[in-house]
Amino acid sequence: MNIDHTILTVLIFVPLAGAVLLALLPDKGRLMQWGALAVTLITFICTLHLPAHYDYSAVAGSFQFEQNHEWITSPAIRYHLGVDGLSMWLVVLTGFLAPLGVLVSWNTIGDRKKLFYTLFLLQQVAMIGIFVSLDLFLYYAFWELSLVPMTLLIATFGRSANRRRAAIKYFLYTFIPSAILLVGMLWVYARTGTFQLPELAQLAAAHNISSNNAALWLASLAFLVAFAVKVPVFPLHGWLSDAIAEAPTAAVMVLVGKLGLYSILRFSFSIFPEQSRQIAPLMIALGAIGIVYGSLIALVQKDLKQLAAYGALGHVSVVVLGIFTFTIAGIDGGIYATLNEGIGAGAFFILLGILYERYGTYDMRDYGGLAAKLPWMVTLFVITTLSVIGLPMLNGFVGEFLVLTGGIQSAVSHHTRWTVLATTGVILTASYMLWMIQRVFYGDLNENTADVPVPDVTAREHLALWPLIAVMLFMGIASPYWLRAIDTAGTYLAQEPQPVEPAASVSNIVPQTPTSAAQEATK
C-alpha cells in the first residue's frame, strides 16, 4: 500500500490521537509512561518512511509527500503539506527525540503524569506540523499551538518556585512577536491572494509580491523578528536561561533552535529573498557576537543548567552565521548544525537530568571526583562533550566546518572578520565543556556528594542515551548520507533571486539552481 500521499497526515494524527487517548485514560501506575512511549515509538517508525522513500534526485526547490486539499474557501486556506531536504530530517529528528524524552521522564515525573504526557505529545504534534506545513495560515496555527504546551510544561513541572515567572517570560517573548508575524502574513495575503508557500516563493522571485519596498521591508522584519526570538538570536535571548533552567528534561530537549531556524530558512528566505540578503551583514555579525558572548558567559557559570543555556545560545548562533552567508556550504552546514544541536544538546540535557536526579543540584561546586563512582556516566558525558565541541569523526565537526567554510566564501561585507571572530568560539566551547567535565568528575571528592549512595547509569538511561551516541558517530563518519537531501535545500536557498517574465505562469516557473557542493565534489 502506497502511503506517500498520506504519511505526513499520519505523522500529525498519531501523536494527536495519542494525546487524546491519554487524556481519557485513568492515571494509574505507569499507564501514562507506557502509553506515551508506545505513541512516540509508532510516530518515530512512521517518520522513517520519509528518508526511505525520498527521491534524492528530485529538482532543488520541489516538495515531496505532498497533500494539497481545499480547506477554507474565503480566505483561501488549504491543507497543504510537504517536505524537502530542509524539513525531512527535522521531522525524523523530532520523532527520534520523543521516545527518548519519555524514557528520561519515566521516574522524574511522579505527579500529574497525565497532564505532562498529554502536553508532551501535543508539543510533538505542533513541531511536526510546523515542519510540514506549506500553507502560511496552517503553519501559523501549529506555530501558536507550540507555545501553549511548552508554557504549561515549564509553569507546571519546573523545578523551583521561579517556574511560573520563567513560563510567563517565555510566553510573552514568543507570543508578542508572533502577533506581529500574523500581521505580516495577512499583509502578504492581501497583496497576493494566497497563503501557499510555493506560490509566494515564485512571486517573490518574480518581484510580484509588492512594488512598495518599505512595506516589504516591514513585512520581512515581522517574519524575521518572530523567528529570531524563537531561535533565539543574540540579543533576543532574554527568555532562554530561565526557560532552560526550569523546563523538565523532555521539554528542554526541543526548546531551543529548531523551530526558529527552520522558519527563517523556509519562510524568510523564500518570501523575502532580497530583504534577507540585505540584512545578512547584520545577522552574520549578531551570529558571531552570539557565539563569543554565549561561550564567554558559559565559561563563568557555576550552575550546569545555566552553562547549558548559554552554550546553546552559542551553538544556535553558529547556525545563524552559516545560513546568512548565503553560500551552499554555509546553509548546508547550518542545517546540519541544527540537527547536531538536537542530538548533542539532547544527550547533554539528558545527562544533566540524570545527574540532578541523583544529587538534587546543578551547582558544580557540589560535585567533584565522581568518575571513580560513576564510570558509565563519565564515559557518556565525555563522548557527548567531544561531540558538542566538534571533534573530527563526530557529528559536531561536520556542521561547524561547513559553516566556517561558508563564512569565508561569502560575498557579504566584512564576512571574513566575523568568521574569524566566530572561530574563537571553537576554542571557548572546548574550554567551558572540558572545564565542566574536570570540575564535576575529576579532582577530589566533594564532601556534599561523597557519601551520597547513588547508582551508575541504569538500563533505562542507557536505552535513552546510546541511540544518541550512535547517531553522533554515524553523522560524523557518514555525513554524505544526510547531506544528500540537505544539499538540495542548500543549493536552492543559496541561489540569487532571479527575475522572471511577468506573464509567466507561477506553476510553470522552474528556478535555476547553481551547481551544488556535492556536484562540484564529483567533478
Give domain status of residue 513, yes or no: no
| Residue bearing the bigger pLDDT, 477 or 516 | 477
**Rounded distance, CA 284 to CA 383, Å?**
30
Q: For the beta carbon of residue 254, count every other beta carbon within 10 angstroms.
A: 26
**CB-based contact 359:510 (threshold 8 Å):** no
Total domains in the chain come to 1
Listed residue (194, 432, 170, 191) closest to 292, CA to CA: 432
**Rounded distance, CA 401 to CA 186, Å?**
39
Give domain status of residue 416, yes or no: yes
Own/partner pairs for 457-464, CB < 8 Å, 24+ apart? 457/354, 457/374, 457/376, 457/377, 457/380, 460/103, 460/106, 461/103, 461/104, 461/350, 461/354, 462/376, 463/103, 464/100, 464/103, 464/104, 464/350
Asked if the bond preceding 499 is cis, omega within 30° of 0, the reply is no
Give domain status of residue 506, yes or no: no
Give domain status of residue 505, yes or no: no
| C-alpha cell belonging to residue 368 | 567533584
What local confidence, expressed as pLDDT, does residue 457 receive? 86
Listed residue (278, 175, 153) closest to 221, CA to CA: 278
What local confidence, expressed as pLDDT, does residue 160 receive? 79
What local confidence, expressed as pLDDT, does residue 446 receive? 76
What local confidence, expressed as pLDDT, does residue 383 receive? 93
Which residue matches cell numbers 490521537?
Answer: 17
**Rounded distance, CA 467 to CA 461, Å?**
11
Owning domain of residue 381: 6-54+62-494
What local confidence, expressed as pLDDT, does residue 348 receive? 92
**CB-based contact 385:433 (threshold 8 Å):** yes
- Find the mean pLDDT for residues 474-492: 90
Query: 79 has which bridge partners?
Result: 69
- Find the mean pLDDT for residues 219-225: 93
What local confidence, expressed as pLDDT, does residue 11 receive? 94
% the chain with pLDDT above 70: 94
pLDDT band at 415 (very low <50, low <70, confident <90, very high): confident
Listed residue (287, 381, 372) closest to 326, CA to CA: 287
What local confidence, expressed as pLDDT, does residue 503 receive? 38
What single letter denotes the amino acid at residue 362? Answer: Y
What local confidence, expressed as pLDDT, does residue 497 receive? 63
- Find the mean pLDDT for residues 192-217: 89
Give domain status of residue 228, yes or no: yes
Give domain status of residue 520, yes or no: no
**Rounded distance, CA 307 to CA 294, Å?**
9
Give domain status of residue 307, yes or no: yes
pLDDT at 3 over 60: yes
**Rounded distance, CA 352 to CA 361, Å?**
10
What local confidence, expressed as pLDDT, does residue 499 receive? 54
Listed residue (143, 142, 136, 139) closest to 195, CA to CA: 136
What local confidence, expressed as pLDDT, does residue 507 receive? 38
| C-alpha cell belonging to residue 212 | 512598495
| C-alpha cell belonging to residue 304 | 550546569
What local confidence, expressed as pLDDT, does residue 1 receive? 61
**Rounded distance, CA 230 to CA 401, Å?**
25
Which residue matches cell numbers 554524505?
Answer: 480
Give domain status of residue 13, yes or no: yes
- Find the mean pLDDT for residues 519-523: 40
pLDDT at 520 over 50: no
- Find the mean pLDDT for residues 236-252: 87
pLDDT for 276-330, tens place per residue? Answer: 999 999 999 999 999 999 999 999 999 898 999 999 999 999 999 999 999 999 9
pLDDT at 54 over 80: yes
**Rounded distance, CA 363 to CA 245, Å?**
12
Kindly give, in sequence order, each residue whose CB lies less than 8 Å from that of residue 75, ignoring residues fewer than 6 positions away: 137, 189, 195
pLDDT for 132-167, tens place per residue? Answer: 999 999 999 999 999 999 999 999 988 878 888 989
**Where is 69: in which H helix or E strand?**
strand 64-72
